[in-house]
Amino acid sequence: MPKLKNFTLKSDHDGLKICVLTVLPDEGAPRALLQLAHGMSEHKERYIPFMEFMARNGVGCIINDHRGHGGSVKTREDLGYFYADGAKGLLSDLHQVTLYFRNMFPETPLILFGHSMGSLAVRAYRLDYEKDIDGLIVCGSPGKNPAAAAGIKLIRVLTALRGERHISRLMISMTTGGFQKKYKGTGESWLSVNRENAEAYAHSPLCGFPFTLNGYAALMKLMQLAYDPKQADNPELPVHFISGADDACSPDEKGFNAAVAHMKAAGYLNVTAKRYPGMRHEILNETDKQLVFDDILKIVDAWT
């Protein structure tokens, strides 16, 4: 059985307690490392089944709750609040976890995986920390929002009027509010065809919580950084995009291809992509998730 360990790190950014989970092979050192960055309004434990699968196949995994998520909050009321300079803090936390894992296994290649909001984070991560990873897997990445800059300005106005902890229905409607419209079922059925997964998300107190204006400011900043045109420092870094073909975050192939094209335009020479027919946003939680698990393992094997 894989070995699970929960612990905390003191954030180098601001001292916030960051909750971290490792899942390691039962015997021996891992042959490869996988660091995960989860999505918006969820938590690290949702990735345990995938991490256990990877660990059973010799890949050590690590994930942290992003600031404002799971256990990485000062109080439960801070869910959706990223604290000061939230986007920078989130990226700094990810890098701190990278260095922690690399220190545990210094000679082992490390792949960075990000889902949804986490996919924006890992694409932004490459701007400053590219040298510390050996590959990048981008899962369920939102299409480019041309209104991100305007959204940041709007958030500043709303924050001046209502404060950074305000829950703005306007911001919700402008971001995730329309995702459910084309799907039947519960309010979270846009996440997956797998109804059990959507219902579990809907009933979890650590999932689906609204972002504060502070949280949306961080999200919009991550979107901007993810599409920064800075050229690759390491053009040989392999990058693989994956997404459900029926993902509301990237509702058509054009948006998905644009994200892939951006990384190619930044100078990366080994950029590949795959969309999964019949799957929605959370391909790691779909009924046919084993197909995705197996594909990711093949990618890790090929890169390491």
Over residues 133-162, the mean pLDDT reads: 91
154 part of a folded domain: no
Distance CA 60, CA 25 (A): 6
203 part of a folded domain: no
Q: Is the dihedral of CA 253, 202, 296, 139 positive or negative?
A: positive
Q: Domain tally for the chain?
A: 1
pLDDT tens string 71-94: 999 999 999 999 999 999 999 999
Cα–chain-centroid distance for residue 254?
A: 21
33 part of a folded domain: yes
Domain, as residue range, for 139 = 3-145+222-303
- What is the pLDDT at residue 251? 63
Q: How confident is the model at residue 144 (pLDDT cuts 50, 70, 90)?
A: confident
pLDDT mean across residues, the chain: 95
Burial of 303 (0-12, 13-18, 19+ CB in 10 A): middle
46 part of a folded domain: yes
Distance CA 103, CA 99 (A): 6
pLDDT tens string 199-249: 999 999 999 999 999 999 999 999 999 999 999 999 999 999 999 999 988
280 part of a folded domain: yes
248 part of a folded domain: yes
27 part of a folded domain: yes
State the CATH number of the domain containing residue 12: 3.40.50.1820
Distance CA 115, CA 191 (A): 12
275 part of a folded domain: yes
Residue with tokens 């870094």: 237
